[in-house]
Amino acid sequence: KQEVTQIPAALSVPEGENLVLNCSFTDSAIYNLQWFRQDPGKGLTSLLLIQSSQREQTSGRLNASLDKSSGRSTLYIAASQPGDSATYLCAVKVGTGNQFYFGTGTSLTVIP
Amino acid sequence: EAGVTQSPTHLIKTRGQQATLRCSPISGHTSVYWYQQALGLGLQFLLWYDEGEERNRGNFPPRFSGRQFPNYSSELNVNALELEDSALYLCASSLRRTGKDGEQYFGPGTRLTVT
């Protein structure tokens, strides 16, 4: 069974800092990996999707990388802002059953 | 373009009752997924529907069931509610049944409280 781990569980940084969130998964046979943000009590907002054949994706201040062989992905956030405060989740899609496995998330607080 | 919608926003039931949650996918999406997010736990996959059929289910008892309608909207039913069923239930949709580019889009969720 695929297991997805996110480290750290919580992170607090001052505004303007660059930061990295980590996601690791146990089975490298994935179709893709998706990063989401979740605001308290809300649904998930898709940030970036990386296909298994890709190494990275970028959107604005966000950059996500994927290293399938080592079972790792990172989400880089440049010049963090208070509005970035949320829980960030990564999810990997496996072929069988089209199922996504989610990590438990990193709670990010950006201090003004 | 409208996103994934879910109703109701909040639902309060008593133990033993049945709950029905609804989801409308993004127009053109044929796959609908249901997830449970209980307090302190991560997102757990519940069910996947595509083209009107259940394609996969997670490790949940049979009292969790659902269906997908011809217009691709979906319903999640939880029978014989237990206190531990209290959670945020999230619905997601994607464009393709299988394949590598099945990006998921999530709705705002239904908060189910069982008393």
The tens digit of pLDDT for each residue in A55-96 reads 999 999 999 999 999 999 999 999 999 999 999 999 998 876
Residue A99 has a pLDDT of 76
Query: What is the pLDDT at residue B98?
Result: 52
- Judge whether residue B103 has pLDDT over 90: no
Mean pLDDT over each residue of chain B, to the nearest integer: 91
Q: pLDDT at residue B99 above 60?
A: no
Would the CB atoms of B56 and A36 count as touching at under 8 Å? no
Residue B15, pLDDT score: 98
Secondary structure in 3-state letters for chain B: CCCCEEECCEEEECCCCCEEEEEECCCCCCEEEEEEECCCCCEEEEEEEECCEEEEECCCCCCEEEEECCCCCEEEEECCCCHHHCEEEEEEEECCCCCCCCCCEECCCEEEEEC
Contact predicate A94/A2, CB 8 Å: yes
A42 touches chain B (CB under 8 A): yes
pLDDT of res. A61: 97
Q: What is the pLDDT of residue B106?
A: 92
Chain segment A38-57, per-residue pLDDT in tens: 998 888 999 999 988 899 99
In B, residues 81-100, which contact A (CB 8 Å cutoff)?
88, 90, 92, 97-100
